[in-house]
A and B are shown apart, each in its own frame.
Chain A
């Protein structure tokens, strides 16, 4: 299986990198993937975030998913944890997801018009 060989090579490279970089994440993005989130488009939001991370080669950003956050009418919800601060964005679409990555995750500027809540 060719993928397995590629995976082995990739691992060797990654282990070296882990040693030099400490492998610490600088930001964590969490997408609400409960029923309401999925119905509102969370899947496309996730794809858009993953694409943007790939394109920009953001190796130190983690993407994660959570269940229903309890604000179904505000879905899709996306939480960004960065610099010790948590910001939740509401009604995110594929375009909005790209802005969140570019403006907040990369440049550190909160995307004001999409914020649902934020806490330190």
Chain B
């Protein structure tokens, strides 16, 4: 499997969805000046005990019994360590979960970000009942999209209707292109 941060993001967001989050915030912050790439995922799902949250960084803990494959929390933690960064997780039962993965941006092992535009669009379209806020910061510029703002304008028109899908694609692609992605 090709390692691509966009896929890790989809996988980590799947945890938030499983935890019944209704709002998920994804932030990528790329500082070429400080040579740091930070990924943050915050959700308002059911959360977990802090002890458990700290323990899942080790590869042997999962509430799932099926085979694991190169993804999940231990894997993103491993990436951050290979890239001279760090991984932090904070969670509170009933409140939600916050993940932060920091990497040295220019590190040779830092996976490419990959198709993040496609990932964000499909999250918004395929999960119309969940709200997403995505921000991509690059040095002093940023692009942000908040599905709550879109839904407010749309009213009774579903966010997963075809014309909205096309506009989402355009907005995200252009927004990221303006940042040089």
Q: Which residues of A contact B (CB under 8 A)?
A: 3-4, 6-8, 10-11, 13-15, 18, 23, 31, 33-36, 38-39, 43, 46-47, 50, 53-54, 57-59, 62-65, 67-68, 70, 72
Contact = CB atoms under 8 A, between A and B. Distances in A.
Contacts of A8: 153
Contacts of B158: 23
B173 to A, nearest CB: 11
Interface of A is mostly: helix
A6 B167 contact: yes
4 tightest A-B CB contacts, nearest first: A65-B126, A39-B69, A14-B157, A59-B162
A13 B122 contact: no
Given A4-B149, A38-B11, 14 more contacts: A4-B153, A11-B153, A11-B154, A23-B161, A33-B14, A35-B68, A35-B69, A43-B115, A43-B119, A46-B126, A47-B118, A54-B162, A54-B166, A62-B160
A64 B126 contact: yes
B160 A67 contact: no
A7 B167 CA distance: 8
Interface string B1-23: 10000110011001001100000
A18 B162 CA distance: 12
B82 to A, nearest CB: 19
Interface string B42-72: 0000000000000000000000101111111
B6 A43 contact: yes
B180 interface: no
Interface residues of B, number: 42
B163 A10 contact: yes
Given A14-B161, A33-B14, A59-B161, A68 B64 contact: yes
8 contacts: A10-B164, A31-B126, A35-B64, A36-B67, A39-B71, A43-B118, A57-B162, A67-B14
Contacts of B171: 3
B32 interface: no
Residue in A8, A10, A63 whose Cβ sees the most chain B Cβ within 10 Å = A10
B93 interface: no
Residue in B10, B149, B160 whose Cβ sees the most chain A Cβ within 10 Å = B10
A15 B155 CA distance: 9
A8 B115 CA distance: 28
A63 B11 contact: no
A34 B154 contact: no
